[in-house]
Chains A and B, each alone.
Chain A
Amino acid sequence: MSDQFVFAMEVTLNGLMAGVLYALVALGFVLIYKASGIFNFAQGVMALFAAMTLVGIMNGQVPFAHLINATFGTDLHHFGWHLPALLAIALTVGVMVLLAWCVQRFVFRHLVGQEPIILFMATIGLAYFLEGVADLMWGSEIKTLDVCLFGETGCLPQGINETIDTVTYGWFGYGFFIDNLDITATIVAAILVIALIAFSQYTKQGRALRAVADDHQAALSVGISLNFIWVLVWSLAGFVALVAGIMWGAKSGVQFSLSLIALKALPVLMLGGFTSIPGAIVGGLIIGVGEKLFEFAIGAPFLGGATENWFAYVLALVFLVFRPQGLFGEKIIERV
């Protein structure tokens, strides 16, 4: 077996792992889009906001400390406690639910019945707003995120996975480098997807959610509260954002660039179709593998590298020209 082939296999595996992380962000988009027809550009910033809130709560930072200090000349920064991760995560989920309620109450309730493109632009505004609030609350410096579930144990694993390294060395004479964190992310994503599917298939709220996604008017007429469902769906998206924020934050630090993963999730959605949860996963995997393999085979040797910046978009663009609704999207029917 040639070296190149083994390298390509390693690249593919890593691409699959990266694809799972993209899919995690894309999931949040799909949830909101299905239930309310809103294309939520702020999903990435929500992930950033969630991760920053988690770090802030864990480290006991005083919210808006910089602002208060600048205004009143005080010198606040920390409450001086360290919360266990589980409690901090629970509190952060609470914050995300509150955020979902605020978004629904103050923004989208006033925009019911507007054109989709107006709603989309509103979410861009929301993204800016949230980013500013997050920076004001917790400060804009890069933070490290170490989540340990039970005191000192149960931490998110980091670094090379020794088992895979040894096993693949035995098979090919070359050990694959797979990050433990990526493997964890894959497992978490799988659990999350199963949980979401189970939720939407087997619970009352889940059924209501699907009904709303199917037809707002009909759902209203059988007594489903649209407001409640939308708050619920934004909360769910907030929760998915938190998970994505933890995974990405642990990987590359909690910083502004975290919100840019939303942009990476867009081509994933285009490939998979906006309305399909399996589509988000498959799209994420295709984009992850595609961009890594392209960089490996063509980008780095011939084009000077860094093709990962644009490959996903161009792939999605070419793909859409042939299938405008994505892989699993519902067929677009237009009437005059």
Chain B
Amino acid sequence: MLYREAGDFHTTYTSDSQTFPIRFDRYRYYAVLVVAFLVVPFIINDYWANAILLPFLIYAIASIGLNILTGYCGQVSLGTGGFMAVGAYACYKLMTAFPDVSMFIHIILAGGITAFVGVLFGLPSLRIKGFYLAVATLAAQFFLLWLFNKVPWFYNYSASGQINAPERAVFGFEVTGPNAAASTTYLFCLVFCAVSALIARNLTRGTVGRSWMAIRDMDIAAEIIGVNPLRAKLSAFAVSSFFVGIAGALFFSVYLGAVEVGEAFSIQKSFLVLFMVIIGGLGSIFGSFAGAAFLVLLPVGLKVLGVDLMGWPTDIVAHFQLVIVGALIIFFLIVEPHGLAQLWRLAKEKLRLWPFPH
């Protein structure tokens, strides 16, 4: 009834090619933004911020980043954890070197530095393809982690080898450190998340995004019709690493506060983000959000169900989580290779015809 394009007349090209051409979609999108920006900050508490909302927003940014590289440009990367570490350490060095500069600038600069590192490790993608590239990105993962562990300059010669986020404020509100309020940290991450999604969505709709998809679908054919593979692949690596770097910087400075590189950004993190992208849907910005939400909520839900209701020990629940995540990955690849995003698309398609499907 509500979800129709009928009666929604587009009289200009701009309005015809907007992101949400159907009116209901558009209003739903505005409603989500209003709730996220104006309602949630007033009702949020520490538990919700730290257990669900902050990780969700941060992983959503990381998934958007990886989705651009893997979903849109077809280059599988297992180095996400390493690139997140670059973002975190860049942010740390900037925060300690320039205490007076706004956190916004630090985080964006950290993203920029990660983009540069990403391009460096993306260079082999011009020669290496498919699995070979996936394994080659492991070089980035292990080398970067080792670097941050072994070179004391990166952790400012601290005795523990950890990095701790100093207290920094944005417009007078603390966003890092132990005294930061849940609503401020949430809003801070939300701003980055919303802007990242907006940028990513528009990049993928434009020339750059089309050249990425051409490379993904068949790189030789793309080259023949005039897509420059060097520019397309490297720009995908740069943009992807930029978002992943921002996610890493937020993960360290706002969410965790203190990071031990081998633990926080291990290879497991790379897989986690990859799973988010697969379960959410390759090549879909909405899918990145759906995947991140799913894999952030799953452990929380399982813990509530297993530990609190069934009374199982936590390690059994943790093992169950592995089983369920693994089974879900296989399930999604078999039944719905395009992930949650495709289910969403199908639901919308059904809704358009409802209640008269024929």
Contacts and interface: CB of A to CB of B under 8 A. Distances in A.
A199 B156 CA distance: 58
A309 B333 contact: no
Contacts of A317: 124, 128, 136, 139
Interface string B132-146: 101110110011011
A67 B319 CA distance: 10
Given A122-B330, A136-B319, A263 B337 contact: no
B323 interface: yes
B127 A125 contact: no
Nearest to B131: A39
B329 interface: yes
A304 B329 CA distance: 39
Interface string B14-28: 000000000000000
A185 interface: no
Given A116-B130, A317-B124, A128 B329 contact: yes
B309 interface: no
A307 B135 CA distance: 18
A121 B278 contact: yes
A131 interface: yes
A132 interface: yes
Interface in A120-167: 120-122, 124-133, 135-136, 140
B98 interface: no
Nearest to B76: A117
A129 B328 CA distance: 9
Contacts of B145: 309-310
Interface residues of A, number: 52
B209 to A, nearest CB: 20
Contact of B334 (A66, A107, A117, A320): A107
A270 interface: yes
Given A127-B326, A320-B127, A122 B311 contact: no
Contacts of B278: 121
B313 A70 contact: yes
Interface in B147-192: 149-151
A274 interface: yes
A1 interface: no
Interface in B195-218: 218
B310 interface: yes
B142 A309 contact: yes
A267 B131 CA distance: 11
Contact of A321 (B124, B130, B325, B327): B124
Nearest to B150: A304
Contacts of B129: 324, 332
B267 interface: yes
Main SS at interface, chain B? helix
A185 to B, nearest CB: 24
Contact of B146 (A122, A266, A306): A306
B143 A313 contact: yes
Interface in A235-263: 263
A307 B313 CA distance: 38
Contacts of A320: 124, 127-128, 132, 136
Contact of B330 (A71, A129, A321, A332): A129
B220 interface: yes
A274 B134 CA distance: 14
Contacts of B329: 121-122, 124-125, 128
Nearest to A334: B220
A107 B330 contact: yes
A118 B146 contact: no
A270 B221 contact: no
B274 to A, nearest CB: 8
A135 B132 CA distance: 30
A120 B133 CA distance: 13
A90 interface: no
Nearest to B221: A336
On chain B, which size bracket covers the interface?
Answer: 35 or more
A272 to B, nearest CB: 12
B353 to A, nearest CB: 29
A126 to B, nearest CB: 6
A111 interface: yes
Interface in A24-49: 39
Contact of B135 (A111, A131, A270): A270
B316 A309 contact: no
B229 to A, nearest CB: 13
Contact of B323 (A71, A111, A133, A270): A133
A210 to B, nearest CB: 22
A322 to B, nearest CB: 8
A70 B325 CA distance: 21
B129 to A, nearest CB: 7
Nearest to B335: A110
Contacts of B313: 66, 70
A221 interface: no
A117 B315 contact: no
Contacts of A130: 326
A114 B150 contact: no
Interface in A202-226: none
A316 B136 contact: yes
Contacts of A127: 326
A269 B327 CA distance: 27
A326 to B, nearest CB: 8
Interface of A: 39, 66-67, 70-71, 107, 110-111, 114, 116-118, 120-122, 124-133, 135-136, 140, 263, 266-267, 269-270, 274, 303-307, 309-310, 313-314, 316-317, 320-321, 324, 332, 334-336
Considering the complex of A and B, which 10 residue pairs feature the smallest CB-CB distances, nearest first? Answer: A129-B326, A125-B329, A132-B322, A128-B326, A132-B323, A313-B139, A310-B142, A135-B319, A310-B143, A125-B330
11 contacts: A71-B310, A111-B333, A117-B76, A124-B329, A129-B327, A131-B322, A136-B319, A270-B132, A305-B150, A313-B138, A313-B142
